[in-house]
Amino acid sequence: MPELPEVETVANGVNARIAGDRIEDLWFSSKPEPMKTPPAAMAKALTGRSIERVRRVGKHIVFDFAPDPKREPVQWIVHLGMTGRLVVVDPGVPRPPHTHGVLVLHSGRELRFVDARRFGRMGLHLIEKAKDEAVELPGFRGPGTEPLRISKVDFRSLFHKRRTSIKAALLNQSLLHGVGNIYADEALFRAGIRPRRMAARLSTRELDRLHGAVQKVLREAIRLGGSSVSDYVDAAGERGFFQLRHFVYMRTGQACLVCGTPIRRLVIAGRGTHYCPICQH
């Protein structure tokens, strides 16, 4: 499931392959769920555009285009949801099932959005002024704060009044953007904090430890190409390796890698939550 490290890996991979290419043609499936913007409007706005850069903002993938004085500035935004894939393929490769969007590029290659479960989204963002950070497309949530850039002080103030569990707060994208279920569990383990603790009751020291753990775990995961837990692959179809470094996620009943105690599972905010009852307090 794509969280910040997986989305970053995909965005960088797509960028490396198609930056500078031009959109010649577009195709979209008839499934309404993945479309934040009607397909006809997306096709009209994007045909002929030159792709300047592809980058990650939060869990969103943002496509920036070369300025065109005759046309309104736009961005194309893709969210991978649970099972979404964005892959660049050479001409002639058969389209797999659950393909919902295809950009046919000038080079002949295709950028495809494939998503079995249809939790992913594609949409157009009309911009008046080019904005570097914000994703304000109606229907797409604002970016919250980038966890890799937030300072210790800002991190503390994000959570210190929240009367909910720290796990739920970490998953709240209007606070921190990009942390999902895997990295919330892994960061809480590394910080030695139980997921059910109320955010507002954490000490400054604990919040500082969590700040460090979130950044460390995300950086390490980016370095390893993300976690391939279900079917995640990057833009070249390669799996990541961070799943080999998981201490708790999906390890219910298995021995804690630090103390040997069986890992426990509970449900918080509707998500499976994994922790060590000895290492985390």
Partner DNA sequence: CATGTTTCCTGACAGC
Partner DNA sequence: TGCTGTCAGGAAACAT
Which are the catalytic amino acids? 2-3, 59, 271
User: Is residue 159 within 8 Å of 197, Cβ to Cβ?
Assistant: no
Q: Which residue has the tokens 């109606």?
A: 138
CB of 162 to DNA, least distance (A): 5
C-alpha dist (Å) from residue 122 to 18, 102, 161? 18, 11, 34
CB of 99 or CB of 280, closer to DNA: 99
Residue 148's alpha-carbon distances to 15, 56, 192, 246, in angstroms, are 20, 12, 20, 19
Residue type, 122: M
**CB of residue 81 to DNA, shortest distance in Å:** 5
What track of x and - describes contact with DNA for positions 170 through 209 (by CB under 7 A)? -x-x------xxx---------------------------
Q: Please count the residues of this chain forming the interface with DNA, following the rule CB under 7 A.
A: 34
Interface with DNA includes 272 (CB under 7 A)? yes
The interface region with DNA, picked from 21-29, 48-56, 64-72, 136-144 by CB under 7 A, is 136-144
**CA atoms within a 13 Å half-sphere pointing along the CA-CB vector of 224:** 16
Establish if 98 lies at the interface with DNA (CB under 7 A).
yes
Residues 222/252, Cβ–Cβ less than 8 Å = no
Query: What are the residue ranges of helices labelled H in 166-203?
Result: 166-171, 181-191
Does residue 239 interact with DNA by CB under 7 A? Answer: no
Q: Which stretch in 66-74, 128-136, 168-176, 187-195 sits in contact with DNA by CB under 7 A?
A: 168-176
Partners of 122 in beta bridges: 35, 78
CA–CA distance, 211 with 193 (Å, rounded to integer):
12
If binding is defined by CB under 7 A, does position 117 make contact with DNA?
A: yes
Q: Site for DNA (CB under 7 A): which residue of 1, 11, 89, 276?
A: 1
Q: Which of 81, 192, 212, 262 binds DNA (CB under 7 A)?
A: 81
d(CA 186, CA 167): 11
Asked if 245 is part of the footprint of DNA (rule: CB under 7 A), the reply reads: no
Could you tell me where the DSSP H helices lie in the chain?
4-18, 39-46, 152-159, 166-171, 181-191, 204-223
Binding stretches for DNA (CB under 7 A): 1, 3, 33, 58-59, 79, 81-83, 97-98, 116-119, 139-141, 162-165, 168, 171, 173, 180-182, 231, 250, 269-272
